[in-house]
Amino acid sequence: MANEHLVKELDQVVVRFSGDSGDGMQLAGNIFSAVSAVLGNDISTFPDYPAEIRAPQGTLSGVSSYQIHIGGDKVYTSGNKCDVLVAMNPAALKVNVKNITPQTIIIIDADSFTDKDLEKAQYSTKEPFAELGLNNTVIDAPITGMCRASLKDSGMDNKAILKCKNMFALGLVCWLFDRPLEHAMQMLNTKFAKKPDIATANIKVLTDGYNYGHNIHASVPTYRIESKGEKRKGTYRDVNGNAATAYGLVAAAEKAGLQLFLGSYPITPATDILHELAKLKNLGVITVQCEDEISGCCNAIGASFGGALGVTSTSGPGLCLKSEAINLAVIAELPLVVVDVQRSGPSTGMPTKSEQTDLLQAMFGRNGESPLVVIAATSPTDCFDSAYMACKLALEHMTPVILLTDGYIANGSAAWRIPSLDEYPEIRPPYVTPEMREGWKPYHRNPDNFVRYWAVPGTEGFMHRLGGLEKDFSTSAISTDAVNHQKMIVTRRNKIDKVADCIPLQEVLGDKDDADLLIVGWGGTFGHLYDTMRTMRAAGKKVALAHFKYINPLPRNTRELLSKYKRIVVAEQDMGQFAGLLRMRVPGVDFKQFNRIKGQPFKVSRLVEEFTKMMEE
């Protein structure tokens, strides 16, 4: 009986890989999440890494982590505290104490817990677990030593050998959760296709880590997470928000029959959109890495004027710089999609951390009355749908659209069913027609929705100029007439207001008919707020959730919806920007606020605690 191995069935589990920035925790986490997705589990991930390019090795500021929430059924967040922590050094252990419970299994590299390592991580004793008050189950594997032993005959130098340590840890975790290694091996062969010796070394260490787990099986149980929820039939893959955004842009261009043009300047955490689209030249995608943010936006506007789908990508600091060019697209009434992957600010702020603080900048961060459409993606997979809709609204309403994502959903990943384009609505830009030729002017518009008609340069009989000066409503000539200026301002605003007729009504989830508390959120916090609602309902409380994706204009039923509930809380990762916008657009509705800006995702446990208090007041 002493050798009998215990296997436990779990509904869900949270695993966190953590180590130095150079320890390969992001790669290990990526592979583990992809393997889990292939096996039919639902996943949600959270890459959490420092802004420093490379902090001193073994220090607290250099800790990089990757958290994966795996579920047999649908999961909506990357999880709160982890069930398994891989800590490759003392600094990783210390930084992640707040992310574990007394039941968390901790895997450490015993070879990296020397006196010198403890000193770098600012421990005051030589007993790190006692000092941190931990009494957890610990797998103290000599990962560094076993990695060296595994590759002693490989011909690799010590530095190259130690870069494979992450694969030993990954192999051990794969054993712990009964994950076969075939898919991980395939990913390594693909990643290192041009360096087969490196691929072979990583696969050997991965296998040795797995086998090490088998050798200690008597002391630690293993876990199995069976897929339980019914998944829609189709082909699934692991996708992060930035990749999904890129694919959504391509899908929209294909549906509209237009060439996709991206003008962009590299900026964390949006650069991967540029990288992803640059791989797709075979699909006719044009990408230009411009010299700065302003030129990136202006390039996209030029492409749009020329008849392409013009897109530019950035983060908060870049959105500031693009504001004048975006305004040019507003007054020229050209389609433009601006993707803003929000990060912690102000200024450079914390580039690798996430928050929702660009909302009011997207709404009002330009001179003059400058209305445009604002959409906020709600999850990594929703980035595809949101990007598609951003393009559709920009093209059909001849307006800039700002698509807000954030670092959490942009870098986080989830299992995604690759859709068919047939599932998505048609995109019909308002092109001029031959019968419009006589007497046509550039700012002639559809009287029903105030959208001006699009004359692509080269269309016979529709030669024209656009620019940043105000135009006459009737003649489209430059005008400084006061009455005309008022009319054009109102017309541009009405055009954006009419977009509300083309977006869905706002949905309410949960106890929508008799909730004692309505939670209101927007953008990338959907998963945490939805899990909070589910947790509170499971405890017998009447709770509903209205999570907004369309920010400007708001859905037509927003006032009616909010007026139904006596107790409302608006939760967001800023100091109340959406709450302020709702007070402006839906006056007379009273609600409380929950605001946190820590550069980290919401904690569901904290949200449940705070919202429960509000219900008891």
CA–CA dist 470, 468 (Å, integer): 7
Query: In this structure, are 215 and 129 located in the same domain?
Result: yes
Please check whether residue 59 lies inside any domain of the structure.
yes
Query: In this structure, are 167 and 273 located in the same domain?
Result: no
Query: In this structure, are 71 and 215 located in the same domain?
Result: yes
List, for residues 499-513, the tens digit of each pLDDT value: 999 999 999 999 999
Q: How confident is the model at residue 2 (pLDDT cuts 50, 70, 90)?
A: very low
Query: In this structure, are 268 and 182 located in the same domain?
Result: no
CA–CA dist 470, 331 (Å, integer): 7
List, for residues 368-397, the tens digit of each pLDDT value: 999 999 999 999 999 999 999 999 999 999
Query: In this structure, are 291 and 199 located in the same domain?
Result: no
Q: How many CA atoms within 13 Å lie on the side-chain side of 345?
A: 21
Domain edge (last residue) among 195, 224, 253? 224
Please check whether residue 465 lies inside any domain of the structure.
no
Please check whether residue 538 lies inside any domain of the structure.
yes
CB crowding 411-446: b at 16 or more within 10 Å, else e: bbbbbbeebeeeebeebebbebeeeeeeebbbbbbe
The residues near 460 (Cβ < 8 Å, ≥ 6 apart) are none
**Cα 197 from chain centre:** 34
Report in angstroms the alpha-carbon separations of 317 from 311, 358, 363, 410.
17, 9, 15, 17
Over 80: is that where the pLDDT of 230 sits?
Answer: no
Helix/strand/coil for 258:
coil
Task: For residue 237, give the nearest of 36, 38, 32 by alpha carbon.
Answer: 38
Helices (H), 39-157: 90-95, 115-120, 128-131, 143-150
Please check whether residue 46 lies inside any domain of the structure.
yes
CB burial of residue 107 (10 Å; 0-12, 13-18, 19+)? buried
Query: In this structure, are 147 and 272 located in the same domain?
Result: no
Looking at the 3D structure of the chain, how many domains does it have? 3
Helix/strand/coil for 406:
strand
Check which CATH number belongs to the domain holding 299 and give it. Answer: 3.40.50.970
Over 90: is that where the pLDDT of 565 sits?
Answer: yes
Query: In this structure, are 213 and 247 located in the same domain?
Result: no
Domain edge (last residue) among 224, 251, 286? 224
CA–CA dist 516, 615 (Å, integer): 7
Q: Contact at 8 Å (CB) between 344 and 353?
A: yes
Query: In this structure, are 149 and 208 located in the same domain?
Result: yes
Domain edge (last residue) among 197, 224, 251? 224
Please check whether residue 219 lies inside any domain of the structure.
yes
Q: Which pLDDT belongs to residue 40?
A: 86
List, for residues 573-585, the tens digit of each pLDDT value: 999 999 999 999 9
Check which CATH number belongs to the domain holding 115 and give it. Answer: 3.40.920.10
Task: For residue 506, give the nearest of 457, 460, 564, 461 by alpha carbon.
Answer: 564
Check which CATH number belongs to the domain holding 548 and give it. Answer: 3.40.50.920
Over 70: is that where the pLDDT of 6 sits?
Answer: no
Query: In this structure, are 390 and 415 located in the same domain?
Result: yes
The stretch 82-88 carries a mean pLDDT of 96
The stretch 420-448 carries a mean pLDDT of 96
Q: How many CB atoms lie within 10 A of CB 326?
A: 22
Please check whether residue 26 lies inside any domain of the structure.
yes
Helix or strand (DSSP H, E) at 182:
helix 182-191
Helix/strand/coil for 288:
strand
Query: In this structure, are 319 and 379 located in the same domain?
Result: yes
Query: In this structure, are 248 and 214 located in the same domain?
Result: no
Task: For residue 506, give the nearest of 545, 469, 463 by alpha carbon.
Answer: 545
Please check whether residue 440 lies inside any domain of the structure.
no
Q: Contact at 8 Å (CB) between 123 and 114?
A: no
Query: In this structure, are 141 and 243 located in the same domain?
Result: no
- Sequence letter at residue 210: Y
Please check whether residue 496 lies inside any domain of the structure.
no
Range of the domain at 544: 509-616
